[in-house]
Amino acid sequence: MTTLQLPGAPSLAYDANNQLCVDGVSVADLAREHGTPLFIYSKATMLRALQAYQQGFAGRNALICFAMKANSTLAVLQVFAQAGCGFDIVSGGELERALAAGADPARIIFSGVGKKRSEMRQALQAGIGCFNVESINELHVLNEVAVELGCQAPISIRVNPNVDARTHPYISTGLKGNKFGVAHEEALGAYQLAASLPGLQVVGIDCHIGSQITQPGPYLDAMQRMLDLVQLIESHGIPLPHFDFGGGLGITYADETPPAANDLWKELLAEMDARGMGDRQLLIEPGRSLVGNAGICVAEVLFLKHAEAKNFCIVDAAMNDLPRPAMYEAYHQIVPVKQAQADAAATTYDVVGPVCESGDWLGRDRALSVQQGDLLAVLSAGAYCMSMSSTYNSRGRAAEVLIADGKAHLVAERETVSAIYARERLL
C-alpha cells in the first residue's frame, strides 16, 4: 500500500487497486454503503496522537482533558474517555455529551467566557473537577450559584498572558485584544477576590493562548509569564495546586511542521523543573492535535464546470459540512479516492460545494484528474468540521463512521430533512 504523506495520519493509504483506505478499510466501499458527504475517523490515529502526550507526561501528575469543541461526536468522546482522558467543555450541552459518552465528571473542566447560571448549576450538581473562570463578574455569579446550592465551586482563573500565538487572528486567544481570560496585570487581585468568596475554592491557574500553534516559542513565552505569576500569587498566601496550560498545538494541513507533543512538553517541563514547579498537577486541553488528522470527509463530484476565468469541481460536500475554509480561508489537502494513473492529465479546479454562497469552497486551485461521479477525500477533517457543521440550505448533517480495530462502525446516521425541522411548528 502507498501511504499518504501526511504526518500523523499513517492510517491513510492506497491499496494495490489504487483505492484509498483508512486503516485498511476501503473508503469507496464506505461511501457506497453510507452515501456522501461522509466523515470517516480512525481510532488508531487518535490513540497514536494521544500517546505522544502520554509519553511527554510519563512519571508526572498530569490530566489530559480533550477539548471536545474540536469534535463532540459521542463515539469519539468514548474513545478518549476509555483511554483515561478528562474533558474540557464550554457549554452545558457539552457537559451532557461528555457524561453520555462515559466521562468521569470529576475529570471535566468547564471553560468559556459566557457561562449561564443554569449551566453553572448543572455543572456543580454533576460534580465537575474545575471551572476555568474568565472574568471578575463570573467569579461573583459563580459564587452566588454555589452558595445557593450550599457548596463550593472549584475554580482556576484563566489568565491572559498577552502572548502572540502567531496563528490566525480568529483563533488567537492570548492577546490583550482577545475576549478571553483576565488580564495578566489583574490576576493577583482576581485571585485575592476569589479566595475571599465563600462559594469558591481556588484549585489552580489556567491559560490558553490560541489554536493551530506550530512553533514552540509562544508556548515558552507563555510558560515563563505564567510561572512568574504563580510565584507572585502564592507569595500572597494563595496556593495553586494545579497548573492548566491549555492546548492549541497545531497539526499538518499542508506543509506546517509543528513540534511533536512529547518534544514540546519536554521543553515546557524543563522550564517548570528549573523553577521548582515540576511536581504540581498539570492539566492540558488538546483538541485539534488529537483528532484533526484522524478524520477525512468524502464527497462525490457532481459536476465539472469549465469557465473562462476558473474551472470548478462541484462536489456534494459544502461549507455547512466543512466550514473551516469559508471561516478561516483554511487549507485542506484534497485527494481522489481512486488514485489517478501517473500519466493522467490534471486540470486546475476550485473545489466548491452546492450551497448558495460564493464563500462555499473547500479548496482553491487544485490540480485534479477527475470525472463526474468520482469521489474525493478532504483530509485533516477530524477537528472543527463536524462539530461546527450546520443545516444551512436545509442540508442534513453528514453520516459519520469510526474505524476501530479494522472494522467500520456507523457512529452517527445521516440527518434527515424531517429531523431538521422536527422542532418547528406551523402557525
The reply, when asked if residue 357 is annotated as ligand binding, is yes
What order of strands is seen across the sheet that includes strand 20-22?
2-3, 12-14, 20-22, 25-26
| Residue 409 near residue 75, CB atoms below 8 Å | yes
Closest CA to 86 of 99, 74, 75, 71: 99
Residue 154 near residue 131, CB atoms below 8 Å? yes
CB atoms within 10 A of CB 255: 6
Determine if residue 199 is labeled as part of a ligand binding site.
no
144 burial (CB, 10 Å; 0-12 / 13-18 / 19+) is middle
Nearest to 51 by CA among 83, 76, 86: 83
Q: Is 286 annotated as a binding residue?
A: yes
Residues 6+ apart with CB under 8 A from 302: 314, 315, 316, 354, 372
Residue 65 designated active-site: no
Determine the Cα–Cα distance for residues 84 and 124; give it in Å rounded to an integer.
22
Q: What DSSP string runs through 119-167? A: HHHHHHHHT-SEEEE-SHHHHHHHHHHHHHHTS-EEEEEEEE------S
Amino acid at 304: L
Binding residue per annotation — 127?
A: no
The cell numbers describing 177, all together, are 485584544
Catalytic residue among 65, 151, 356, 385: 356
Which residue in this structure is represented by grid cell 456534494?
316
Alpha-carbon gap, residue 291 to 92, rounded angstroms: 22
287 is in an annotated binding site: yes
- List binding-site positions: 248, 285-288, 324, 328, 357, 384
- List binding-site positions for substrate: 288, 324, 328, 357, 384
Active-site residue numbers?
356
- List binding-site positions for pyridoxal 5'-phosphate: 248, 285-288, 384
